[in-house]
Structure 1
């Protein structure tokens, strides 16, 4: 479970950003769906990759 923690943190961060953008821009329909589909996945991948690079350096 510890290995999935960076991905989970990134996914939750991406979801929070998607919620904020959706509320600020008042998105509805397909743009909102794409925002909620892409940002959590991208956020999780980015944070996991950054975490992996930091552990590879040591």
Structure 2
């Protein structure tokens, strides 16, 4: 179980960072509707993927 969580930790960290950026941008730009929905859908997923990729490159 611990190894499984350790494998997902970089993705989880990136997702949380992307969510924080999405919240910040949404508040600063006062986005509503479809742009806000796209921001909250894309940034956490992209953040998770980028951080996971960086961690994989460092471990290789």
Query: What's the CA shift for 1:50?
Result: 0.1
Q: Deviations over 1:1-58 (max 9, x none)?
A: 11000000000000000000000000000000000000000000000000000000xx
Residue 12 (structure 1) aligned with residue 16 (structure 2): yes
Q: 1:39 aligns with which of 36, 39, 43?
A: 43
5+ residue gaps, structure 2, are none
2:29 aligned partner: 25
Supply the RMSD in Å over aligned alpha carbons: 0.2
5+ residue gaps, structure 1, are none
Following TM superposition, the consecutive aligned residue runs of length 4 or more in structure 1 with deviations greater than 3 angstroms are none
